[in-house]
């Protein structure tokens, strides 16, 4: 019999005092004993709301049941029926908004820690050599190119490979994973976890080509001559800047540049790593989303005296995961809520020396229902700073649209799709952040899988025409 009233397991974590000195993973996950106790809390609902709330519909009660039967291989295979990135999702998916948010135990006992269980199954099965990448039953002889190697392209490529197509991923950077690798820090998502899950997709037979920028040097129309279909999963890697005076000063980074230096190029190891990063004594991060939390927590690990997050609304309106805000606070990050950046102040050498700000109060809700900040005139004040990291949003990557005039775009800079998910070029599909604007890992995966099904349908017709 399930035992939902058992205390909810959260797993061990590095203490804030220790973790602020390193880039190792903060959460240590669950031990086998803890995982089994946590799994025992699951009621194995007949109509599992958790599963319906998961964007890729991971068979949650079924994998938990297999775990309880000590069938680790079966549990891992069950998850991998719909998600090939279980160790990634177990760590970074906002479960509180998806599966755990829908768990029937949520109100009375606290939800089952589904993310930690998924992470445990994925890691333990990999360690025991029990993860078997799905293999296609036949080869179709058709070829598809996927652009980008973020979660949307990885999921699309894996799904297409399952269907027996030859798939090639083209990635602009030297390493694979998209935001997982260049944006999300290793203390939330260790690099080895990303590498291992990319490896699963490679083992399925997907070919990866790095350092290749599709669009200007490898046109979409050119790709269509060699490939039967193209999937664009090029993400939302264009930073939004604050558009205030002083933004070109030395010491101002976009979150994108700062996180890429730290996470992809491992600047925290400089000079052992080739790329440096300088933060000085006082760091200010502008923004309230996951990028802002990641930038602030990375900066805090680089040894400054202070890291402040300047956010124009209150804590209630912050888009960042609550858990990440808590982590940042524990690590000493200071929050200036209801504060709006006005101007970046510089010294005689053009270096950042401070941020002029205004205080705000909350006004009426905007179109998304979040209360808008209203500036309090005459409330100007200055926060001293050596570094300012602008983390106020990401826009769709413009490289492919700019080099592909036939590709219709929306007014938001995303690739336009019709009601069937098709783009304006026959044989070209898209998904993830390039189609939605900044979203989540799981929504990107969902798009990748859905597009793979569309491509299968498109190719089915095509092969009938004698291809």
Applying CB under 6 A, the residues found at the interface with ligand FAD are: 92-94, 147-153, 170-173, 178-179, 183-184, 213-215, 233-235, 237, 259, 290-291, 294, 394, 397, 399-400, 432-433, 438-442, 444
Task: Compute the least distance from the CB of residue 294 to ligand FAD, in Å.
Answer: 4
- Residue closer to ligand FAD (CB basis): 86 or 246: 86
C-beta of residue 132 within 8 angstroms of C-beta of residue 425: no
Task: Choose between 201 and 441: whose C-beta lies nearer to ligand FAD.
Answer: 441
Query: Based on CB atoms, which residue is closest to ligand FAD, 284 or 442?
Result: 442
In 311-456, where do the E strands start and end?
334-336, 339-346, 352-365, 371-375, 381-384, 387-390, 394-395, 428-430
Measured in whole angstroms, the distance separating CA 449 from the mean position of its chain's CA atoms is 16
Question: Where do we find the tokens 């890697």?
Answer: 237
Q: How far apart are CA 78 and CA 70, in angstroms?
A: 14
CB of 180 to ligand FAD, least distance (A): 6
Q: Report the 10 Å Cβ neighbour count for 47.
A: 8
In the complex with ligand FAD, which residue's Cβ is closer, 186 or 291? 291
Instruction: Answer for the pair 169, 206: CB distance below 8 angstroms, yes or no.
Output: yes
CB of 320 vs ligand FAD, minimal distance in Å: 9
Specify the residue, 399 or 449, whose C-beta has the smaller distance to ligand FAD. Answer: 399
CB of 218 to ligand FAD, least distance (A): 8
Give CA 253 to chain center in angstroms: 20
Report in angstroms how near the CB of residue 446 gets to ligand FAD at its nearest: 11
* Residue number with CB closer to ligand FAD (147 or 459): 147
CB of 421 to ligand FAD, least distance (A): 15
Strand partners, 357: 341, 381
Nearest distance, CB of residue 366 and ligand FAD, angstroms: 21
CB of 92 to ligand FAD, least distance (A): 4
Q: Which is nearer to ligand FAD, 103 or 262 (CB)?
A: 262
| CB-nearer residue toward ligand FAD: 77 or 152 | 152
In degrees, to the nearest 5, what angle opens at C-alpha 291 toward C-alphas 26 and 289? 105
Pick 125 or 444: Cβ nearer ligand FAD: 444
CA distance linking residue 467 with residue 462, whole number of Å? 6
Q: What DSSP string runs through 276-334? A: -----SEEEEE-SSHHHHHHHHHHHTT--SEEEEE-SS-GGG--S-HHHHHHHHHTT-E
The residues near 71 (Cβ < 8 Å, ≥ 6 apart) are none
Q: How far apart are CA 369 and CA 411, in angstroms?
A: 22
Q: Shortest gap between Cβ of 466 and ligand FAD (angstroms)?
A: 31
Residue 424's SS3 state is coil
Give the Cα separation of 394 and 150 in Å (integer): 15
Helix 32-39 to helix 60-68 angle (10° resolution) is 120
Buried b (16+ CB within 10 A) or exposed e, 281-313: ebbbbbbbbbbbbbbbbbbbbbebebbbbbbbb
């Amino acid at each position: 019999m399930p035992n939902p009233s058992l205390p909810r397991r959260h797993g061990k974590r590095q203490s804030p005092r220790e973790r602020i000195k390193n880039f190792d993973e903060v959460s240590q996950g669950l031990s086998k004993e803890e995982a089994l106790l946590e799994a025992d809390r699951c009621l194995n609902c007949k109509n599992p709301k958790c599963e319906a709330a998961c964007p890729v519909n991971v068979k949650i009660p079924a994998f938990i049941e297999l775990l309880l039967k000590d069938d680790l291989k079966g549990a891992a295979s069950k998850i991998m029926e719909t998600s090939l990135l279980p160790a990634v999702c177990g760590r970074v998916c906002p479960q509180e908004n998806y599966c755990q948010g829908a768990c029937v135990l949520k109100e009375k006992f606290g939800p089952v820690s589904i993310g930690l269980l998924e992470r445990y199954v994925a890691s333990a099965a990999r360690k025991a050599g029990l993860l078997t990448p799905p293999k296609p039953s036949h080869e179709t002889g058709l070829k598809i190119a996927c652009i980008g190697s973020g979660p949307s392209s990885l999921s699309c490529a894996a799904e297409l490979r399952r269907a027996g197509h030859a798939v090639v991923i083209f990635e602009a950077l030297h390493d694979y994973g998209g935001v997982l690798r260049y944006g999300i820090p290793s203390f939330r998502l260790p690099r080895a976890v990303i590498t291992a899950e990319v490896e699963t997709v490679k083992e399925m037979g997907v070919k990866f080509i790095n350092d290749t920028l599709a669009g200007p040097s490898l046109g979409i129309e050119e790709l269509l001559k060699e490939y039967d279909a193209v999937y664009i999963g090029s993400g939302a890697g264009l930073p939004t800047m604050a558009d205030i005076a002083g933004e070109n000063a030395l010491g101002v980074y976009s979150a994108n540049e700062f996180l890429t230096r730290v996470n992809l190029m491992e600047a925290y190891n400089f000079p052992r790593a080739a790329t440096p990063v300088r933060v000085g004594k006082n760091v200010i991060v502008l923004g309230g989303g996951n990028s802002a939390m990641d930038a602030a927590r990375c900066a805090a690990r680089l040894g400054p005296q202070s890291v402040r997050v300047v956010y124009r609304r209150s804590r209630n309106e912050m888009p960042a995961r609550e858990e990440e805000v808590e982590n940042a606070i524990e690590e000493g990050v200071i929050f200036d809520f209801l504060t709006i950046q006005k101007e970046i102040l510089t010294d005689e050498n053009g270096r950042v020396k401070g941020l002029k700000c205004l205080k705000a109060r909350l006004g009426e809700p905007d179109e998304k229902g979040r209360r808008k900040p209203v500036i309090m005139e005459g409330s100007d004040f200055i926060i001293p700073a050596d570094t300012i990291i602008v983390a106020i949003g990401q826009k769709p990557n413009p490289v492919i649209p700019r080099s592909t005039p036939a590709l219709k775009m929306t007014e938001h800079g995303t690739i336009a799709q019709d009601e069937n998910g098709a783009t304006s070029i026959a044989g070209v599909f898209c998904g993830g952040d390039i189609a939605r604007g900044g979203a989540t890992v799981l929504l990107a995966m969902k798009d990748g899988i859905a597009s793979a099904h569309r491509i299968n349908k498109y190719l089915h017709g095509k092969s009938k025409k004698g291809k």
